[in-house]
Amino acid sequence: MLYEKIENLRERTVLIRKTTEFFEGELYPVFYACLVVLCSFTGAELPFYAVSAVIVVYTTIFCRDTKSLIVPLVLAVYAISQKHTPQPPYNSDFLYRPYVLAILGSLLAPAFAAMLFRLIAYKGTGNVFRTKTKARFGLFALGGTIILNGIFYSGYTIGNLFFGIGIALSFVYFYIYFYNTLEWNEKTAVYVARILLLASAVIMIQFLELILFDKPDDKLELVLGWGMSNNIGGMLAMFMPASFYLSYKSRFAVFYYIFGFVIFLCIIRTMSRTSLITAIGILLVCMILLSVKGKHTRFVRTFNALVLLTAVLFVLFPNKFGDVIQYYIERGLDDSGRKEIWENGIKNFLQAPIFGSGFYTPIAPDWSYNVENWIFPDMYHNTFVQLLATCGVAGAAAYLFHVAQGMTLIFTKVTEERIFVFLVILSLSLLSLADNHLFHVFPTLVYSMLFALSEKDYESEKRKAARTASELPLQTERK
């Protein structure tokens, strides 16, 4: 078979074997993260994405496992530079120039083709369409209703179909791909956690450079190439559980535990209230879990006590801690206009309650965010309002079904690995109740991949339980 011929070629050719070993090893994610930082500071997006496409094609064809694809899946978006961002105050049109789009499309095509080739031609590790996986029907139902967004609404456009297909694929594609191709073992979750931690480090380096050299005066000036303050804080909150999971699994437990709090401090500095509230909840859960079970519990409890004492000082003496704390105090729980957006979302839902009014129906007549992009429509800053308004009762019901299946997957024969995945997914889901992270493609690609990892972990636990059950009669006979 074809995959056997490629395996033989890999083993017989020294250069291919050595290169493949590098991409399957622990240095590759660090190397790629360094490229991301370099590109984000220099504006070399096109060379970077050309290198990324070559890496994806090569690793997809020659690597035994597909975990190497998770590196660009998580990190590639953070390579966009400030000088080329379409967001204010930079307002660059670079990423929308026809020749740039043509180059990016020509790079994406072979990468996507290589992944399809791997799915079809190689001997996989599973088949999501034949196996009774825990989460597939919920994800597929959600994807289907997103594709059907606004289908019977009078203002329906073909743009709704194409955008719906894109969003639906972001929810299901990598769930299918990694379930069918990824080789799961006890080190896979640690590998993924390290990538999420590297993403956090990349974001914090970019953010530190912004703070030190651009010296922003207010929250509106906290803009990196790939997002503004809410995006920065949101992604850090989403990735923060990785540090605490590694603290549980690694011999460098103390380092990872402290680094988790460094991420939290950076989230505070983003002045994103939704990110901060979400991060506080996730942080408290991690503090409690690791003070009960894990390595260095005595250190964790002592450190937690110091953190709680510091938090009390923040509450008692807020004026002593600078402008950032004052910002949170002054803004409080102000909704920043979200209530009006949600009310208009319900109005749009009532116009087409079954399949919604579609993604491209304006939130309100003659009103827009005026977001500097040409793809993403205005969003409703709440997952349920978003689904009701754009996909109707069908979309909201599919999402609830998906959530129910996801919870069953996570908490059936629960493991530390799926608790880690759950905290990442929970963070993204909570963030999306007040911001629009879940319908931005790149966080959702990670979301999709994590569900595939959870399926793999669950099936691994089932196999272990089956082996244990089969060995019991033999052990009884020997006794």
Within 8 A by CB and 6+ apart from 461, the residues are 413, 415
In a structure prediction context, what are the per-residue pLDDT tens digits for the chain, which is 479 residues long? 677 778 888 888 888 889 999 999 999 999 999 999 999 999 999 999 999 999 999 999 999 899 999 999 999 999 999 999 988 888 898 988 999 999 999 999 999 999 999 998 888 888 999 999 999 999 999 999 999 999 999 989 999 999 999 999 999 999 999 999 999 988 999 999 999 999 999 999 999 999 999 888 888 889 999 999 999 999 999 999 999 999 999 989 999 999 999 999 999 999 999 999 999 999 999 999 999 988 889 999 999 999 999 888 777 776 656 667 667 766 667 777 889 999 999 999 999 999 999 999 989 887 776 665 556 788 999 999 999 999 999 999 999 999 999 999 999 999 999 999 999 999 999 999 998 899 888 999 999 999 999 999 999 998 888 877 766 565 555 55
Within 8 A by CB and 6+ apart from 195, the residues are 29, 70, 71, 74, 75
Residue 312 C-alpha from the chain's centroid: 32
- By the 8 A CB rule, do 327 and 271 touch? yes
d(CA 258, CA 300): 9
d(CA 277, CA 72): 29
Give the SS3 label for residue 297: helix
The 10 Å Cβ neighbour count of residue 273 is 21
Look at residues 239, 236, 300 and name the one whose alpha carbon lies nearest to residue 269: 236
Report the chain's terminal Cα–Cα distance, integer Å.
47
Query: Would you state the pLDDT for residue 338?
Result: 87
d(CA 36, CA 320): 37
pTM of the model: 0.93
Query: Would you state the pLDDT for residue 219?
Result: 86
d(CA 139, CA 401): 9
Element (H, E) at 227: strand 227-228
- By the 8 A CB rule, do 143 and 348 touch? no
d(CA 219, CA 211): 11
Torsion on CA atoms 257, 258, 260, 265, rounded to nearest 10:
160
Task: Tell me which residue has tokens 């991409």.
Answer: 23
Within 8 A by CB and 6+ apart from 146, the residues are 164, 167, 168, 171, 391, 395
DSSP count for the chain of H helices, then E strands? 18, 2
Residue 45 C-alpha from the chain's centroid: 21
Within 8 A by CB and 6+ apart from 5, the residues are none
